[in-house]
A and B are shown apart, each in its own frame.
Chain A
Amino acid sequence: MRKVLILCLFFHLSCFAQNRELLYNFTSIPQSSLVNPGADVSYKYYFGFPVLSGISANVGSSSFSAYDLFANDGVDFNQKVRNAVNKSSSNDKVVTNQQLEIFSGGFRIGGRESRSYISFGLYQEFDFFMFVPKDLALLALNGNRDYIGKSFNLGDLNMKAEVLSVFHVGFHKKVNDKFVYGGRAKIYSSGANATSTKNSGYIYTGQEPGTPNLYNQVISSNLELKTSGIASFTKDEYEGNIARDIANNTFFKGSLGFGVDAGITYYIKDNLQLTASIIDLGFVRQTKDIETLTYKGTYQYNGANPDFLGSDDPENVFDEFDKAIPRDTLYNKYTTWRPTKFYSSIQYSFGEARPDDECNCHGKLNTYYKNAVGAQLFAMTAPRTPLFALTAFYRRNIFRKLDFKATYTLDTFSSTNIGLGLAGTIGPVNIYALVNNVLEYKDISKASSAAFQLGINFVFQDKE
């Protein structure tokens, strides 16, 4: 029981939206092309520091924080759990995304004047999405005695999880000074998937006239859990290392899928820029080690019913229940859609500057803007309804090779989310660090969500 709880908490604590508002359009970081393949990124070639080019980790929760549960304040832990459940709603989301870039790189194709680029890479991703199953938490915490007449909604059970690796190849081209477009093809290899998003049914205890016994007790269940790459771990015969086997399946033996990213950057004016991108428009065909569990049926429990007729009618509650709501195991392949993300931004730049710390020997004036402000929109597909976020940002070029970005984001998780990002280049070494929800860092335990992302790249430009 405790293990289950700790596991639940782990998931609760590692929840976060997949919005990458700091990375988006932060074009001094090559990885920004992962959130907009049409980002105005330029290089002669670059490669990411293996495994360290893009690490992102997130913590947070839409309804309660670690502090709410674990504060050392003398309040009874059970009461805190109760408060947290009461405070939550079944529309509270738990969204986690973790990514680790294994390798990445890119190069310019064509000659010195060309502005076409190829990029490629492999990254590992973990996605988790769940709605807080409030009704079932209430039932487990309190039982049904104080909820006569209430239907506990089994549709509150709604989650999906996936570990996958993504190999991608992208192309982007700056057609002219005004327009950049890009696209990326992705091959997904899913090592493990669990999907349970189409549940319905209820557990009901009522007191109504006309029923044979004191209560009208009904369980109506339409539950389905699809898994891929997990079933063999649940068998008694399994004697391997789950983490190693999942990793192995993720990179070498996963269920395959395909997806695309696309994006554009358009300069309406020299200092007014519009961007848009769509990421992970794709699917995975789950075919490896698949198992679907269903519990479908309706069971009404009235209690033991002697008839005094001398008939030997053995009643067995468990058998009856199993017959009414049987556990079925199916082995059908299924298709899962990737959480598709949409980004768009508008940016106004001001404060024209010339590089003053470098000698301009070629006579060509490379002016640039020191400041930019703008707004970004984020949307992501999710079970029930999509997630949205709106971001205002300010970007400042502190020095030629040091950029700073600050964001303020409004979303379902927080209305006080301020993010700070820095990207600097020292010689060919490009280092970036992005931190989300900085206000919460003064007491991280109270944070409803927090994230950081950092990475190291080697970027080579033409010698001027």
Chain B
Amino acid sequence: MRSRLLSKVSIIFFSVFLLFSCSSDLDFDQVNDFKLEPVFVANLAYFDIPANRLVDDGGTNIGYDSRDFDIFKNKFFTERLKKAEFDFEIENSIDRAFVLNMLLLNEENKILQTISFTVPSYKGTPNVIKYPTEVFENTRLDLLKQTQKIGFVVIIAAGSPLNSESLGNLKLRSSATAYLEIE
């Protein structure tokens, strides 16, 4: 009889112990504040044009090419992109000056923005020029987000003619930094 009573008491005690274990003040609504802000870097565009491909007569000439750039078709990415930066470096070892225009084009090939780089001619010493970072925010970012293609215009300034024997290269290397906000 005594054991029966005591086991009952013990079980009640045990249940109470389970019910009354306490907990610090927790606020699960904090999950609503959750925001990921990752920053990704990626290659953007590059080329390496040898001088002998730019055969010309010494006058002003224009080379053109364009590439699909479909990252902004990805809605998840585009909607969460808060800021973007482009970094460019150009190395010229050709005895001619250039202007490189990078065109951001929409689906109808309409030019949304032009980014222009002036490249001095080769003076005999290696010269890698790092251009100031192009920052895309607000309206400029909105234009960037409509970009579907990138056009490249290489304007060769007048100078000594180039032929298949000409030496040197025009090299572009570039990267993009994407600031995302995911909530």
Residues of A whose CB lies within 8 Å of any CB of B are 1-2, 5-6, 9, 66-67, 69-72, 76-78, 80-81, 139-146, 148, 205, 212-215, 217, 301-310, 314-318, 357, 398-402, 422, 424-426, 431, 433, 435, 441-446, 452
Contacts and interface: CB of A to CB of B under 8 A. Distances in A.
Interface stretch (B61-69, B112-120, B132-140): B61-69
A131 to B, nearest CB: 21
Nearest to B152: A306
Contact of B26 (A67, A214, A433): A67
B74 A357 contact: no
B75 interface: no
Contact of A144 (B7, B40, B67): B40
A2 B31 contact: yes
Contacts of B183: 1-2
A399 B7 contact: yes
Interface residues of B, number: 65
Given A215-B42, A398-B6, A424-B7, A308 B152 contact: yes
18 contacts: A5-B31, A67-B26, A70-B27, A70-B28, A144-B41, A212-B48, A213-B45, A214-B173, A301-B42, A304-B68, A308-B65, A308-B152, A399-B3, A402-B6, A402-B7, A431-B11, A433-B15, A435-B18
B7 A443 contact: no
A69 to B, nearest CB: 8
Contact of B21 (A70, A302, A401, A444): A444
Given A143-B180, A304-B69, A441 B45 contact: no
Contact of A213 (B33, B150, B175): B175
Given A401-B7, A431-B11, A435-B18, A318 B47 contact: no
A422 B68 contact: no
Contacts of B64: 308
A310 B113 CA distance: 22
Contacts of B24: 67, 71-72, 443, 445-446
A6 B31 contact: yes
A304 B21 contact: no
Given A2-B32, A304-B69, A315-B68, 17 more contacts: A71-B25, A78-B37, A213-B43, A213-B45, A215-B43, A301-B43, A303-B42, A305-B46, A308-B64, A318-B73, A422-B10, A424-B10, A424-B11, A426-B4, A435-B18, A445-B24, A452-B18
B3 A402 contact: yes
B68 A314 contact: yes
B103 to A, nearest CB: 11
Contacts of A139: 38
Given A314-B68, A357-B3, A214 B34 contact: no
Interface of B: 2-4, 6-8, 10-11, 14-15, 17-18, 21-28, 30-49, 53, 63-71, 73-74, 87, 89, 150, 152, 154, 173-175, 177-178, 180, 182-183
A317 B71 contact: yes
A306 B45 contact: yes
B34 to A, nearest CB: 6
A314 B182 CA distance: 31
Nearest to A452: B18
Contact of B47 (A146, A308, A426): A308
A139 B39 CA distance: 9
Contacts of B21: 441-442, 444
Among A308, A398, A431, find the residue whose CB has the most chain B CB atoms closer than 10 A.
A308
Contacts of B26: 66-67, 70-72, 445
Contacts of B25: 71-72
A212 B45 CA distance: 10
A80 B34 CA distance: 10
A306 to B, nearest CB: 4
Given A71-B24, A422-B10, A303 B36 contact: no
B52 to A, nearest CB: 13
